[in-house]
């Protein structure tokens, strides 16, 4: 196949000696409704307050997104004490401990919460369970900001982190009849099912969340990888090393027997790694913009005669409302 830019009629083109590479592009991939909303919140805050607007933690785990917002006047910090008095601040999509908005209010800061509504839903469940006297087993990854934020919704000692099936087997709770579990939104669907099965077997009275805590975007992106895995010789996942949902996509591909790598940008492609690959799967985590997928396809097209095919595993139509304070339509 000729390069995409070649508009000459086929018989006027020189022969193409590039090796062929079929690209199987997963769908859904890339931005979810929570990421779209969080980025829009930063943009609208800049419009409302003027620059600079502070953002506590990367608004979503993607350097390209963060750099683009920084260019528009956002300043990214890790903690609230780095925000000067009087400056507006946005909390990232991953959520924050309750102490953070409390401290912001005490300091009289204008703050806007970009926590994904699906993370907030887990926060509210945690509060209610603790009010009802339950001890919560929280399935998640130690140190992730969403886990820190959710632990910060309840008093110390009311929630225990379960990271692995081995943790679930080893747990010796003080009151096994009075447990509930919740999960991080961006976990592996399969690993989490295994952990929950262990918890239910060991603690039959454990209270489950009302719905699934793993969000629609996480499970749909994992399903989309599974849907193309059998046809792929290798898979590239566009996402950041600190992006939980993106890392899970690499694992899903590998568990389906496909060698897979996480890359942040096309420039990280290792062409030696692609040697012998005829069909390459491509996907992107929930925080990775589509422009980075196009950048990757364009780079591959400089070395290979590429064909592109997209397989849609599930159709997504989720949209989240903006906070009232920023929504002109509200």
Hey, which bits of the chain come out as E strands? 20-27, 53-56, 74-77, 89-91, 111-113, 135-139, 159-162, 179-183, 234-238, 259-263, 279-284, 305-312
> Rounded to the nearest 10 degrees, how much is the dihedral formed by the CA atoms of 321, 326, 329, 330?
70
List the structure tokens of 74: 């956002």
Residues 86-125: x where in contact with ligand 0CG by CB under 6 A, - otherwise, as a string: -------xx---------------------x---------
212 a catalytic residue:
no
Q: How far is 18 from 37, CA to CA, in rounded Å?
A: 41
Distance of CA 68 to the CA centre of its chain: 18
Binding of residue 249 to ligand SF4 (CB under 6 A): no
Over the window 174 to 213, marking each residue x when it contacts ligand 0CG by CB under 6 A and - when it does not, the resulting string is: ------------x---------------------------
Q: Which stretch binds ligand SF4 (CB under 6 A): 102-110, 155-163, 212-220, 288-296?
A: 212-220
Q: Which of 93, 162, 258, 282 binds ligand SF4 (CB under 6 A)?
A: 93
Distance CA 182, CA 164 (A): 14
| 283 scored as a contact of ligand 0CG (CB under 6 A) | no
Compute the least distance from the CB of residue 295 to ligand SF4, in Å: 22
The nearest distance, CB 286 to ligand SF4, in angstroms, is: 4
Q: Does 152 bind ligand 0CG (CB under 6 A)?
A: no
Q: Which of 125, 220, 244, 283 binds ligand 0CG (CB under 6 A)?
A: 244
Among 23, 25, 33, 288, binds ligand SF4 (CB under 6 A): 33
241 to 155, 162, 165, 218, 249: CA distances (angstroms): 30, 21, 23, 16, 12
């Amino acid at each position: 196949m000729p390069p995409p830019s070649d508009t000459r009629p086929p018989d006027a083109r020189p022969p193409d000696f590039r090796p062929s590479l079929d690209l199987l592009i997963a769908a859904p991939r890339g931005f979810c409704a929570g990421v779209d909303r969080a980025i829009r919140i930063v943009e609208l805050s800049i419009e409302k307050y003027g620059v600079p607007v502070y953002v506590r933690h990367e608004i979503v785990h993607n350097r390209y997104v963060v750099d683009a917002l920084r260019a528009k006047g956002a300043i990214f910090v890790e903690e609230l004490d780095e925000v000067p008095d009087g400056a507006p601040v946005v909390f990232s999509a991953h959520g924050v401990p309750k102490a953070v908005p409390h401290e912001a209010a005490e300091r009289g800061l204008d703050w806007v919460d970009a926590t994904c509504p699906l993370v907030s839903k887990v926060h509210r469940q945690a509060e209610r369970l603790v009010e009802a006297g339950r001890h919560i087993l929280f399935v998640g990854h130690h140190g992730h900001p969403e886990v820190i934020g959710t632990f910060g919704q309840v008093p110390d000692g009311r929630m225990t982190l379960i990271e692995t099936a081995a943790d679930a087997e080893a747990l010796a709770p003080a009151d096994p009849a009075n447990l509930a579990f919740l999960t991080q939104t961006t976990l592996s669907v399969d690993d989490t099912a295994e952990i929950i099965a262990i918890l239910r077997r060991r603690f039959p009275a454990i209270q489950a969340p009302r719905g699934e805590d793993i969000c629609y975007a996480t499970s749909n992106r994992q399903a989309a990888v599974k849907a193309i895995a059998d046809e792929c010789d290798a898979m590239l996942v566009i996402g950041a090393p600190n992006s939980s949902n993106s890392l899970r996509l690499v694992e899903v591909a590998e568990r389906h027997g496909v060698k897979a790598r996480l890359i942040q940008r096309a420039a990280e492609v290792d062409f030696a790694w692609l040697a012998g690959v005829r069909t390459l799967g491509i996907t992107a985590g929930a925080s990775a913009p589509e422009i980075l997928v196009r950048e990757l396809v364009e780079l591959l097209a400089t070395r290979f005669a590429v064909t592109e095919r997209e397989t849609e595993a599930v159709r997504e139509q989720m949209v989240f409302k903006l906070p009232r304070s920023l929504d002109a339509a509200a």
